[in-house]
Structure 1
Amino acid sequence: MRNTVTPIDPVALTADLIRCNSVTPAEGGALVLLEGLLTSAGFSCTRVDRGGIANLFARWGRPGANRSFGFNGHTDVVPVGDIAAWTHDPFGAAIVDGWMYGRGATDMKSGVAAFAAAAIDFIRQTPPDGAVILAITGDEEDIAADGTVALLDWMAANNEQMSVCLVGEPTCPNVMGEMMKVGRRGSLTAHFTARGVQGHSAYPHRANNPLNAMVRLMDKLATHELDTGTEHFDPSTLAITTIDTGNTATNVIPATCRATVNIRFNDCHSGASISDWLRAEAAAMQAATDIQFGVTTTISGESFITPPGELSALVAKAVQAETGVTPVLSTSGGTSDARFVKDHCPVVEFGLVGKTMHQVDERVEVAQIHHLKAIYSRILADYFA
């Protein structure tokens, strides 16, 4: 006989999570709230805190089950910015005209609430032959070194395994159901320092201006075609994000100039190959100008693809059934914690419309939260059928 326990309301849970001031890296009570809810529903919960970051691992079912479905998400949020510009309290979860306002409403407390509610209802109503795992971090919006990575490290050390994983990030540009992510581009940030000889601007021959060399180098990088795209990826992109000297004088040629570029790269490249190319270009400019160049790179993640197959078909079928929309399989957008999960198990991403994430007056359509829970519930039912 099925359990008739009252279903978890994902809208109320989203509101409760928004009211937790969990601006990264603060936990803000969000994971404490989820741990209490999941524990009361029969999940085995473990806090996997590391480096001052709070993380939560929750499993229903026996460890080492022959199959396990995992959800991954985060409860940390970006800062609110100018609070005076908000129409509603960013931690108030006000519902106005069918929309819930608050920091994290879209990215991604609604997603966490939807999959937590779906998981709890599912194991109560139709306990599966297998395990349901929730891996929730408080460090996705920052450097992410001690968030999902810490959870995966702990899982490996404790013989915990997800067979497949769905990351609940917002994935739809405009319409609920229109897009899911089966991969992501890699991301690399490079910092350049150019050192020349300071001098008077009236006597440029007595100086060696690092700005001239830096501008030439930045133009060469920005106009270079990295590639034309691949089967699953758009062309790689390079954006100059700053060129700076800190020079406030109009009649002084500075000795030093700095610049930063960010590159989003597809599977034609690796972080190492991009780094090698940038250093080679800087070395060539140094040889041509006698300006000394230094280059440091930070790789936030490599590109990856989960080839279309059983997992993407499972998710797409559930989305189509609940929304009437067949999602496009995409690798667009920035990075997510799927870049870490892909080394553990096959992973895809599906979530809400993300148009207002990180904005002032971030908000989510209340009806979408219910839709998302229904989609996640169907995915679980179909996976364990």
Structure 2
Amino acid sequence: MEIGVVAAYFPPEVSAAAVRIGPFVEEWASQESCTVHVFAPRSENEASDAYANYPNVRIHRVPAGIADNTRSLPARFLSEVALCFLVFWRSLTVKVDVYVTSSPPFLIAVTTLLVSLISRTPFVLDVRDLYPEQLFSYKVVSRDSWFGRFLQWLERQVYDHALLVAGVTEGLTRYIERRTSTDVVLIRNGIDSRQFYRRRHRATDGGLAKGERTNFDEFVILFHGTLGRSQNVELLLTYAEHVKQEREENVTIRVIGDGPKADVLRCGIENRNIGSILEYIGRVDFDEIPDLLNRADVGFSPRVDGLVNETAFPVKVYECLGCGLPVVVTPKSEAGRYVERNEVGFQHRNGDVEGIHESICRLKENPKLYKEYSDRAVRVAESFDRHKLGRKLQNEIASRLW
């Protein structure tokens, strides 16, 4: 099988799209009968080195890339258009059996549709977030405007012409199934289990894994990821204020990441005088995140209300579970129901600061209960290895191609 991956992001880039598709490509290319052609933007590093052990991977770079999320929307849009134009022409130069692309960005999905129609080659769409629904939810575009209606028409065209659509959550797949007759399958997001696993640390806990602790000299609640529109930064600030008012000892809320809401967080910490509770580290290299997770005790995934986030299962939740961290999720959502059902965390509505604190204190004050949650988190995460998920997606594709 010859697979053409049309990617807006690809390793060594460490965006959500890149860290999902990278292990998929590795899994597909590990088979002698499969060759993978990747059409992706330029990289400052030589990406082919990362795939030196995969002779079946061919990476075709184009001299463009999408502006980062600190830039204005017009700048990001124009850079995305330039990338899609170049990837479009490059993709047509290599004959493959099927194209695979991941959305967002939504324009790369539309680009792959055009490549598919011109080359008469089927394509598979992997959907991680709902677009244009995100634009409507955050009022970037009006749903009833001519442009909003045009985006909805494009969305239906992409779904209807795909060989297969894969969605990362149950809610997302149900949403897509209501809009198309194309087959839709659930391929969850997951983690690379070679990176995100529970470790031991001599410096912090005497060589014990977090699930083996008998007490907590410092209890670290960790948020990590992009500080974008979906993240409830106000709740992070409000909860830190609550911890300070309760005079809860030895509790630190640690935030790792950067993005459009970073300044809101910085100003909030200063204005509310909560720097002793809320520690903002900022952006770190992706390779450092597993170690920082292992030096924390509970993962926190606060997102704003709305359909998009109620059907979400953030990648950070999988990463926390892989490292043995119980997770607190807001608002009540698919991810929240999952962690509650499997007893690896808690979900709360936004604004329920006292309930969030009560859940966290249950774990902090009961090391035996904490160990049970941590051990279950590690076991649950085993089914979310991205290489296994990549193999599942390939089987779904093959069953429809041949």
TM-score above 0.5, yes or no: no
Where relative contact order (Cα < 8 A, 6+ residues apart) is larger, the structure is 1
Larger Rg computed on CA atoms: 1
TM-score range, shorter chain: under 0.3
Greater fraction of residues in helix? 2
Provide the TM-score with structure 1 as the length reference: 0.26
What TM-score do the two structures reach when normalised by structure 2? Answer: 0.25
